Structure 1
Amino acid sequence: MRKLIFGMNLTVDGYIAATGDDIGWSGPPSDELFQWWLDWELANELSLYGRKLWEAMSSYWPTGDRQPGATPAQIAFARNWRDTPKVVFSSTIDKVDWNTRLVTGDAVAEITRLKAEDGGPMTIGGATLAGAAMRAGLIDEYVLVTHPVVVGGGTPFFTAPPSWVNLNLVATRTFPGGAVLTRYETRR
């Protein structure tokens, strides 16, 4: 059975995007934080995306290794992003690329099916998609990288769980610039 991990950057007040889907609050990550995200992505075998996050990632990473001034870590991230199998859940787009499959039907049923397969961990990204998986009790681990900024509104990391979700803290780490990583496993 695969492990499902929800991890994203967020603000101190709990938002992954400010009002208007603005993610400019996070700024460029420190080299150390970017390397951590790269290592995390390399350890996962399948990435699940909601439409908005897919559109953001696919607008840059397919050619991120060919951008002027790309660092070795950015080059490795772009190559891994293209090579890693991905599933996008959307009813409004009709084409995906870069080792990606589109699912237009029941996201929870498909995530449940994917979790039941043999294989390594899979990540889930995007507040709406992750919120559906959370409400269905499918998320095994939460990875929060909290940045030292308050935006006052926008897209929350946690979207209305149906009840309490009890967690066990498994790791913490502070990065240059003040971002703080916390990892929690769901207590079953």
Structure 2
Amino acid sequence: MRKLIFAMNVALDGYIAAAGDDIGWSGPPSDELFQWWLDRERANELLLYGRKLWETMSSYWPTGDQQPDATPARIEFARNWRDTPKVVFSSTIDQVDWNARLVTGDAVAEITRLKAGDGGPMAIGGARLAGAAMRAGLIDEYALATYPVLAGGGTPFFGCLRNTAETGRALDHRSLNS
């Protein structure tokens, strides 16, 4: 069985994006943090993306190694990103590229199927997609790069916890074990 990892940059108050999907509070990562992310990405054999994160990543990383300010780590990250297989979950886009395939159906069923297969770790990204995986008890590990800022609102890392409090449904404890 494959391991599923949810990792994101997080503000001290638990948000991965401020209001309006603003991630400017995180600024450019330090060389040390960027290396940490690169090491994590190298370990993943499959990347799972929700639509918004896919659009963010695919708008920069296909040519990130060709940017004038690209450091050796950024060059390696871009190459690794292009080479790593990706699955994009969306019902609003109709095609993806850069070594990716699109899933328009039941995300939880597909993630469950992928986890049951052979292979190395999978990373999941995107608040809504990860929230669905959390509710289904599919996430095995959480990795948070915490920034010493307060976003003040926006998209929470543990969004499904907020949703379960609002709906009165309990979160399966297995999804919080790592």
Task: State the TM-score, normalized to the length of structure 2.
Answer: 0.92
Which residue is equivalent to 2:38? 38
State the percentage of identical aligned residues: 79
d(CA) in 2 for partners of 1:20 and 1:143?
24
Kindly report which structure 2 residues correspond to 1:11-22, keeping only aligned pairs within 5 A, or say none. Answer: 11-22=11-22
Tell me how far 1:116 sits from its aligned partner.
0.2
Unaligned runs of 5+ in 1: 168-184
Tell me how far 1:163 sits from its aligned partner.
2.2
C-alpha contact 2:14 2:157 (8 A) present in aligned 1: yes
Q: Alignment partner of 2:159: what SS?
A: coil
d(CA) in 2 for partners of 1:35 and 1:151?
24
RMSD (Å), alpha carbons: 1.3
Which residue is equivalent to 1:105? 105
d(CA) in 1 for partners of 2:172 and 2:82?
36
The answer to whether the aligner puts 1:85 opposite 2:76 as a matched pair is: no
Q: Alignment partner of 2:98: what SS?
A: coil
Which residue is equivalent to 2:171? 163
d(CA) in 1 for partners of 2:20 and 2:99?
29
The aligned length equals: 170
Task: State the TM-score, normalized to the length of structure 1.
Answer: 0.88
C-alpha contact 2:136 2:172 (8 A) present in aligned 1: no
Unaligned runs of 5+ in 2: 162-169
Tell me how far 1:66 sits from its aligned partner.
0.1
Deviation track 1:69-109 (CA, whole Å, cap 9, x = no partner) reads 20000000000000000000000000100000000000000
d(CA) in 1 for partners of 2:120 and 2:74?
23
Q: Alignment partner of 1:61: what SS?
A: helix
Which residue is equivalent to 1:186? 177
Q: Alignment partner of 1:88: what SS?
A: strand
d(CA) in 1 for partners of 2:171 and 2:133?
13
Runs of 4+ in 1 over 2 A off after TM superposition: 160-167
Q: Tell which has more relative contact order, 1 or 2 (C-alpha 8 A, sep 6+).
A: 2
d(CA) in 1 for partners of 2:38 and 2:142?
17
Q: Which structure's residues are more often helix, by fraction? A: 2
